[in-house]
Amino acid sequence: MSDGLSGYNFAYLDEQTKRMIRRALLKAVAIPGYQVPFAGREMPLPYGWGTGGIQVTAAVIAPGDVLKVIDQGADDTTNAVSIRRFFSRTAGVATTTRTADATLIQTRHRIPERPLTEAQIIVYQVPIPEPLRWMEPRESETKKMHALLEYGVMQVKLYEDIAHLGRITTSYDYPVRVNGHYIMSPSPIPRFDNPKMNQMAALQLFGAGREKRIYAVPPYTRVESLDFDDYPFEIQRWDQHCALCGASDSYLDEMVTDDHGGRLFICSDTDYCGERRAAGHRGDTDLPANPAPRTAP
Amino acid sequence: MYVAVKGGEQAIDNAHRLLAEARRGDPAVPELTIEQIAQQLGIAVDRVMTEGSLYDRTLAALAIKQARGDITEAVFLLRAYRTTLPRLAVSEPIDTAVMTVQRRISATFKDVPGGQILGPTFDYSHRLLDFSLAAAATVDAAASPAEPASASAERTDAATATGPTPRVTDILNAEGLIEVETADDTQPVGDITRQPLTFPADRDVRLQSLTRGDEGFLLALGYSSQRGYGKSHPFAGEIRMGTVAVEIIPEELGFAIDIGDIAVTECQMINQFQGSKTQPAQFTRGYGLTFGHCERKAMAMALVDRALRAEALGEDVTAPAQDAEFVLSHCDAVEASGFVEHLKLPHYVDFQSELVTVRTLRQAFSDREIPGVPDV
Amino acid sequence: MTADIDALRPGFENPAPDANAVFRTVLTGFSYPGRILALPIAIAAPPRLNATAAAVLLALADLDAPVWLTADVDTAPLRSWLQFHCGCPLTALREEAVFAVANPDAFGAVDGLAEFAPGRAESPETSTTVIVQVADLRADGAVRLSGPGIAAPRSLAAPPLSPAFWAVLRDNHARFPQGIDVILAAPDRMVCLPRTTLTEG
């Protein structure tokens, strides 16, 4: 600990703060999808950069955990690197980029492609925990709406999309109903990932630091994406497959390869892509050769 | 290409190195000392202490140095440090009536007991760049400063600098002209660093939020309340700045002991109140308090505090400055800057899903295949 | 005097990791209701508490979490121990308690279970977590559990708890999202029952 963090407790937070967060977490698990207010602390990373997820991870993490941190599905994005370093320094835990090896996964904006197990906990970083925020900015009102299950505005919002555009256009942070009761923000994951939340074997914890809310989805819990009988929920699909590993079942990132409309599609989940390539799967492009330009549709 | 997009550890290390270089600037120029910042950029230090909610001039000066003069960043550094400190004791309320006053003015009375004391203020300076300060920077700093102004020379009357200086609002209070404010000791005082802010928020937690709130945001809100966005007819009843003693009562002693002095700025705004069916017309109060010398902040805070009392006083809530949830949810510079600046983080997964949606919508449009949902 | 000696009985040997281990066990318990989980650490229990109940309070109670003690547990030595190690306020009001420790009576019921704080409609998290001390926990009982966290219905035996207890818990479940949450604490193991768990039989 030559970096000046030696004076801090295990996993940075003091024990009293951890107890406060742990009590909030237990209530969150007992009330699936309900946002539990907690006295979020200032963290040495900025608000909006994962302080909620970091506080949840810090309260949960044990010396024997193996931590994986992803941002946009990737382990090597700068903010994921920064958060992983934070816990290596303050908790001294083992870290991994392999989804299969992790016991604790902190994520921003994705759920790994590999199904999670009972031996794992996934912690989501949440910017705006309130799914009704865009329809009603007041906390005092949204609290009542949740208490009374007054969710008509959400259905109206989705229906207006259909009326104007012929489909529901919410493509990420797509609202879900948990255990048939509360409507919940899944955090800004693409709706491609929504179905993974349903009946997941792993515990799902959500931390919103700036908004000071913690919520949870227990394992084996019903998580339904809101929709209509005649406009059922559907996930994103690509005509392309991953240029590196050839996967056609994963969420793809689009990369602009030149200024003539060249595009390359690759797995957003870098571990999934790497595992497939290690198993011999190949896409059209050899890493890191220059891709052939494609024309955008 | 792939590697370049994904960034990584090396990039972060390099950024830290470049930041350290940029902070230091030209190594031929002498490095700023913490003491220089604490002494010569005192108002910046006071602001960082106030919004950082930690009274420590040395640490605040260090934060300013480390933040390269970025005040919001310095506040953030100080807050992140503060949150790790153990809580050893809770002080007794400070008593500003027995402040050792350095500045004390009232706009509501020509003269007040205790006198008007201008103290160190920009108020009556002509805002002309003083090139002698630039010149002085090149000569030996040891050149003796002008003779210190004597305290009595700043005073407009012959009152002594010691002893209690009654607050202007207390004088009005004696006549029953202003609402009475009594501390409710039956209720525990809220603590926004220990309990999440919830709404409706009581005045104790509102005032805490405002003191930590961003000066610029409160200034604009206070200003808006003067321009008709919210009913406000404020008078600066009193602004005072000086030092007060901080006392704690250790459990084992059972009586108060003095643990040191802090400098604070206090502003009491006096506002009109028409009265109601149950209450005669009376003046009402808005309150502002900051660490150090943050007069603009204290005044703006007092305006906003009064505006936020609209609902409790039975006034219409129509303007942003009167809306507690709007003001308190957005006044914290550390929260606000974090969330605004997080837009710099990668969002390409979400953007990709938006791309898919927009392309699909455009395809549907060009195919003229907008499904037939009746207009409503 | 005895109170002071009992207060000096040790708490956690290694506070941070022990508290974490107990918390993780409780978190797993509430995540997978009905799963029987071993107490992960050894601890010298204070008078009237079994080791599991003691460990849960050590891990989670503090000055912000008032504790309620049932009469046959509430002794001066235990009060001293709790105040020394947790610093938690002890409350006589069930509705104020963040945590409560209760024992089944001679009939296997828990007196006044329905009077603990169920939380408010707008803030259902302000409910009591009730630690019920039991003799044993086995997976072969007549009580069937279902709900979130339970992939396939589970069975549970928790002697000496009687059908009267499970009936109160069933009513509690019906109040969702309000309701208490329960930790069944046997001397060396625990089962957690959040309000989402439906108990039948």
**Please, what are the averages of pLDDT over each run of 10 residues along chain B (376 residues)?**
53 91 94 96 98 97 97 96 85 92 88 85 86 70 48 41 74 81 81 88 95 97 91 88 94 88 96 74 91 97 96 90 96 95 89 88 76 52
pLDDT for position B371? 56
* Distance of alpha carbon C139 from alpha carbon C152, whole angstroms: 13
pLDDT confidence tier of residue A286, bands split at 50, 70 and 90: low
Inter-chain touch A42–B82, beta carbons under 8 Å: yes
pLDDT for position C195? 98
* Distance of alpha carbon A12 from alpha carbon A3, whole angstroms: 13
pLDDT for position A107? 97
3-state DSSP call for residue C142?
Answer: strand
pLDDT tens per residue across span C128-174: 999 999 999 999 999 999 999 999 999 999 999 999 999 999 999 99
pLDDT for position B364? 83
Report whether pLDDT(C183) > 70. Answer: yes
Could you tell me the two tokens for C19? Answer: 């508290």
pLDDT for position B113? 81
Closest-CA residue in chain B for A166?
Answer: B371
Neighbours of chain B (3+ CB pairs under 8 A): A
Query: Which among A18, A36, A47 is the top mutation candidate for probing chain B, defined by the most B β-carbons within 10 Å of its own β-carbon?
Result: A47
pLDDT for position A7? 65
Burial class (CB in 10 A: 0-12, 13-18, 19+), B300: buried
Q: Are B257 and B251 in contact (CB under 8 A)?
A: no
Report whether pLDDT(A295) > 60. Answer: no
B108 to each of B168, B238, B304, B307, how far by Cα in Å? 9, 8, 19, 20
pLDDT for position A297? 37
Query: Which among C64, C120, C125, C176 is the top mutation candidate for probing chain A, defined by the most A β-carbons within 10 Å of its own β-carbon?
Result: C125
> Residues 179-208, chain A: which have Cβ within 8 Å of C?
179, 181-182, 201, 203
Inter-chain touch A268–B9, beta carbons under 8 Å: no
- Residue A169, amino acid: T
pLDDT tens per residue across span C75-111: 999 999 999 999 999 999 999 999 999 999 988 999 8
A266 contact B CB<8A? yes
pLDDT confidence tier of residue C68, bands split at 50, 70 and 90: very high
User: What residues of A are annotated to the active site?
Assistant: 33, 242, 245, 267, 273
Could you tell me the two tokens for C53? Answer: 């109940």
- Residue B96 makes CB contacts below 8 A (sequence gap 6+) with B167, B240, B244, B264, B266
- Give the A:C interface size as CB pairs under 8 Å: 108
pLDDT for position B373? 53
Neighbours of chain C (3+ CB pairs under 8 A): A
Inter-chain touch A108–B345, beta carbons under 8 Å: yes
Closest CA to C177 of A179, A203, A289: A179
ipTM of predicted assembly, 2 dp: 0.96
B84 contact A CB<8A? yes
A136 contact B CB<8A? no
Task: Report the mean per-residue pLDDT for chain C.
Answer: 94
Inter-chain touch A81–B7, beta carbons under 8 Å: yes
> Residues 50-109, chain C: which have Cβ within 8 Å of A?
59-62, 64-65, 98
pLDDT for position B250? 83
Closest-CA residue in chain A for C58?
Answer: A19
Strands A121-125 and A104-108: parallel
Q: Are A137 and A118 in contact (CB under 8 A)?
A: no
